[in-house]
Amino acid sequence: MTTTSAPLTVNKKSRWQLFWTSPAMRKLRRNPLALTGLFITLLFGLMALFAPLIAKPTGDCLRDLGLTSASQVTNPANGAFWRAILAPPASCYKMERVSFAQEPKPASEITGTFAPFGTVNGYNIFYGLVWGTRTALKMSFIIVAITLTIGVIIGAISGYYGGWIDNLIQRFIDVLFALPPLILTVVLLTILRAKNPGGDPTGPIILAFSVAGWASYAKIIRGDVLRTRQLEYVDAARGLGARDPRLILKHVVPNSVAAVFTIAVLDLATVPLSVAALSFLGLGFEPGSSEWGQLVDFSRAWLKPEYWYALAYPAAFIITFSLAFNLFGDGLRDAMDPKSR
C-alpha cells in the first residue's frame, strides 16, 4: 500500500508583510530614538491637521468660512468644518490679534480669548504656533518634494549618460556650491520679491529654496547611479531592448534613491529653520502671519526675564520639530545602511 503525501503549501507574504519584516524595518523598530522622533512628528502632523479645532478661527477667518461663532467649526456635519480642515482660507493663517499693545502679556492678564501662551505685539502666541505648524509642514514637504524630484532627475541623467553631459551638469553644480545655500536663497528671494512687492511670499520662497537646494540631491544620486548602471541586471535589461528612459526610471533610479530619501527626511527638519531665518531677517512672510520665525522676530525686542514666554514657546516648537525629524532621519539612515545591519 502506497501513501501520497499532501502537497506543500507555501504561505505567500503580501508586500506589506515583506516590507514590515524586512531587515531595515526590523532595525528601525528596535531604535527607540527613531520611534520617539516618529511619534513626535506624527503629533505635529495631527496638530497641523486639526489646527482649526485646537486654535479656533476668529475674525476674518471665521467670516471667510461662513460661520458666526467659533464653536460651529467643530461640527463635522457642517461644510465649514471640512473646509477649515482641508482648505482653510488665507485669512486663517493670520495670527489672532488680541490687542495692539506691543508689550507682551502673560495668559493671566488676557481675557475674552484663549491665549494660554500669552501675547506678543498683541498677537496670540498659541494661535500662531498651532497654525504655524501647518505653515512649517506645508513649506517643508513642498520644498523637499520639488528639490528632490529635480535633483533625482538631473542627477540620474548626469550619472547614467556621463561624458560631456555629466561634465556640464557637474560644473554647474560646482558653481551653485560656491555660494552658501542660505546666501543664495536670500539673493534669489530678494530679486523675486522686488518684482512683486507686497504679494504673497509663498511662491517666491518655494522657488528660491528649490533653485538653491536641488544640487545636493543631484550630487548624491549621481554617485549611486554611476554604481548601479554597471550592474548585471541593467545590462540584461539593455540586452532585451529596454531604452534609456525605461532603464533610468524602472531599473536604475529605484535602486539608487535609498540614500537620498534619508537625506530628504533630514532636510524636512532644516527647511522650517531656514524659513524662520528669512522671516527673522524680514524676507519671509508678512508680519502677522502664522509662522514661527515671525514670533521669534517679535520677541527679540523683549528679551527680559519677565517676558520669557514670548521667546520660550516659539523656540521650544522649533527645537522639538527639528529634533523629531533628525531623530527619525538618523534612525532611517542607519536602518537603510546595509553595512550597519
d(CA 230, CA 227): 6
d(CA 293, CA 275): 7
CB 326 within 8 A of CB 314: no
pLDDT digits (tens, 9 = 90+) for 274-290: 888 888 777 888 888 88
pLDDT digits (tens, 9 = 90+) for 185-223: 888 888 888 777 767 788 889 999 998 889 999 998 988
CB 260 within 8 A of CB 222: no
Class of domain 25-50+131-340: mainly alpha
Q: Which three cell numbers stand for residue 330?
A: 538618523
pLDDT score of 62 = 86
pLDDT score of 148 = 92
Residue 105 per-residue DSSP state: B
Q: Which three cell numbers stand for residue 282?
A: 524680514
Q: What is the pLDDT along the chain (341 residues), one digit of tens a residue?
A: 455 555 555 566 777 777 677 777 788 888 889 899 999 999 999 999 999 999 888 888 888 888 888 888 888 888 888 888 888 888 888 988 888 888 888 888 888 888 899 899 889 999 999 999 999 999 999 999 999 999 999 998 988 888 888 899 999 999 888 888 888 888 888 888 877 776 778 888 999 999 888 999 999 898 888 888 877 877 787 787 778 788 778 878 887 787 888 888 888 888 888 888 888 777 888 888 888 988 888 888 888 888 899 999 999 999 999 999 989 888 888 777 655 55
CA geometry: angle at 44 spanning 39 and 49, to 5°?
A: 120
pLDDT score of 304 = 87
106 CB neighbour count, 10 Å cutoff: 16
Sorted by sequence, the CB contacts under 8 Å of residue 273 that are 6+ apart come out as: 318, 322
d(CA 177, CA 4): 71
Q: Which three cell numbers stand for residue 57?
A: 478661527
Q: Where are the domains of the chain?
A: 25-50+131-340
Would you put residue 288 in left (φ > 0), alpha (ψ -120 to 50) or beta? left
- pLDDT, the chain, mean: 85
* SS3 label, residue 123: strand
Q: Which three cell numbers stand for residue 185?
A: 536663497
Closest CA to 131 of 67, 40, 54: 54
> Residue 259 carries which side chain, given as an amino acid letter?
A
CB 173 within 8 A of CB 219: yes
pLDDT score of 7 = 58
Strands 119-120 and 123-124, bridge-based pairing: antiparallel
Q: Where are the alpha helices (DSSP H) in 75-201?
A: 79-86, 125-161, 163-177, 181-195
CB 258 within 8 A of CB 285: no
pLDDT score of 43 = 94
pLDDT score of 5 = 57
Closest CA to 181 of 270, 261, 262: 270
d(CA 44, CA 54): 12
Closest CA to 213 of 277, 263, 158, 286: 263
> Residue 101 carries which side chain, given as an amino acid letter?
A
* SS3 label, residue 100: coil
